[in-house]
Amino acid sequence: MMMTFNLALRNLLRNRRRSLATLVAMSIGCAAILLFGGFSGNINYEMHTRIVQRGGHLQIQHRDFYLYGSGNPTAYGIDDYGAILHAIDADPELRKMVTVATPSLQFGGIAGNYAASVSRTVIGTGFVAGDVNRMRLWNDFALRSKAPVSALEGTGPDAAVVGVGVARVLQLCDALKIERCPKPETERSEGGGKALPDDIAQLSALETPSASAAGNLRRIEVLVVNSKGAPNVTSLEVVRAEDQGVKELDEVSVSMHLEKIQQLVYGKSAPKVTSIILQLRHSDQVPEAVSRLKPILDRFSTSQPLAVQDFRDLNPFFVQTVQMFDTIFGFVFILIGAIVLFTVSNTMNTAVVERTVEIGTLRAIGLRRSGIRRLFVTEGTLLGVFGALLGVVLAFLVSWMVNRMHIPWVPPSTVEPVPLTILVAGETRMIVGTTLGLICIAIASAWWPSYRAAQMKVVDALRHV
């Protein structure tokens, strides 16, 4: 075996130019696969991190909330959610896994700017601002980007954060100092917009009769329906507009303190929430956490059906995006693998033609057909091994250079530019899989030329010119 290895290596070195050209082609192909895999992997980690920072790993909800809750969220509220949070905290295993457990309340309503006479439908969320900011610190993949801090923490009970689209429609751009916020033609020419509905205007005037007169241009009025079906309105001060990353969500998003929206919806009744958000230390702890939550939820599901939703179930776009990049990665691997296949095959076929007399001589002195096959397959294997290893080194070098350049770009689910990152180092599974795959392709490329060489007749091979 060692003799075969030495002969194969010497044969490759005998024609250095052709061997080098083949190695360069293989190394570039291997590096291209790894760089694309590192790029798509970073997108996966970015989206994964943003989703977990915003909505946690798991959410405890009413069983039907995910399917029907968007029509009337408060109809699927969770009773006695404080006891559920206490039970989660009392579980010793869950306490080790859970970093943040916080309630949230989703609601629908109408937001209006009384001063500008405009309004629009919104989908809002009430949450505990301190818990949300702790969730945004989660960075299990050590990304270089950071999530913005929620402006609600430390503000008064009537504070709110809206999407940039909501601020644009409600004509709050100047008050909130939002850049690149176009104004409607009607506002520029006439100074007015769409009229606020009379019922909201009257309720708003009763709620805060001096808000607009005081000149506070950040004030909006939010109308919601309480748990008994009656309208309820409050005046909020917008402290910031945050881009939500998706236009449809950005134009309906309103966030406020949990206690404030609970007072509007439930009044003096026992407050409820629509979700209990759980953020874990690591994403691979999700199956174990779900199993630990099951007996807890069974205990509280006697009066209300509860279910645990995984962050992947709650965000199908994330799953579809990951599957899309996995498919593209496989397609790229197949294309480059085909190039490697024909490159190595062409190299080996040329070697067989050039060494026809040598093959006949080896056969004449007693080398079997299997020995000829083994010799050329070993040469193809060496080309595959060295080419793949050089490709890995090249991928490490290019990714290191790109990561140090701090090229800004905006990945999916992110609204602010982040440094372009290509994750190759640490992706052991991708590196090993790509390397072994290309080596196998190189071996397969060498098999047919080696078979042709072994099938030559000794007499014909010796008299080959």
Q: Is 101 helix (H, G, I), strand (E, B) or coil?
A: strand
For residue 15, give the amino acid letter: N
**C-beta separation of 219 from 237 below 8 A:** yes
For the chain, give every domain's residue range.
2-48+319-462, 64-304
Res 49 pLDDT > 60: yes
**C-beta separation of 121 from 248 below 8 A:** no
* 133-171 confidence digits (pLDDT tens): 999 999 999 888 888 888 999 999 999 999 999 999 999
Give CA separation, 60 vs 20, 131, 280, 316, 339, in Å: 59, 16, 14, 17, 50
Beta bridge mates, 254: 124, 162
Res 207 pLDDT > 70: no
| Residue 17 CB partners (closer than 8 Å, separation 6+) | none
Q: What is the pTM of this model?
A: 0.83
| Opening angle at CA 60, ends 133 and 411, nearest 5 | 50
* 347-375 confidence digits (pLDDT tens): 888 888 887 888 788 878 878 888 888 88
CA distance linking residue 171 with residue 159, whole number of Å: 18
- What is the rounded average pLDDT of the residues 374-397? 92
CA distance linking residue 289 with residue 100, whole number of Å: 13
- The secondary element (H helix, E strand) that includes residue 454 is helix 428-454
* pLDDT of res. 211: 43
- The secondary element (H helix, E strand) that includes residue 299 is helix 286-300
* 242-273 confidence digits (pLDDT tens): 888 778 888 899 999 999 999 999 888 889 99
Specify the pairing of strand 159-163 against strand 253-257. Answer: antiparallel
Give the single-character DSSP code of 233: E
Residue at token pair 């279910």: 307
Q: Looking at per-residue confidence, does 46 or 217 come out higher? A: 46
- What is the rounded average pLDDT of the residues 273-299? 94
Average pLDDT over the chain, rounded to an integer: 87
**The two three-digit tokens of residue 227, written as one number:** 């748990």
Lowest mean pLDDT of 195-209, 253-267, 270-284, name the range: 195-209
**The two three-digit tokens of residue 139, written as one number:** 């960075």
pLDDT > 90 in the chain, percent: 54
Taking the C-alpha atoms of 179, 182, 186 and 189 in order, what is their torsion angle to the nearest 10 degrees? 70
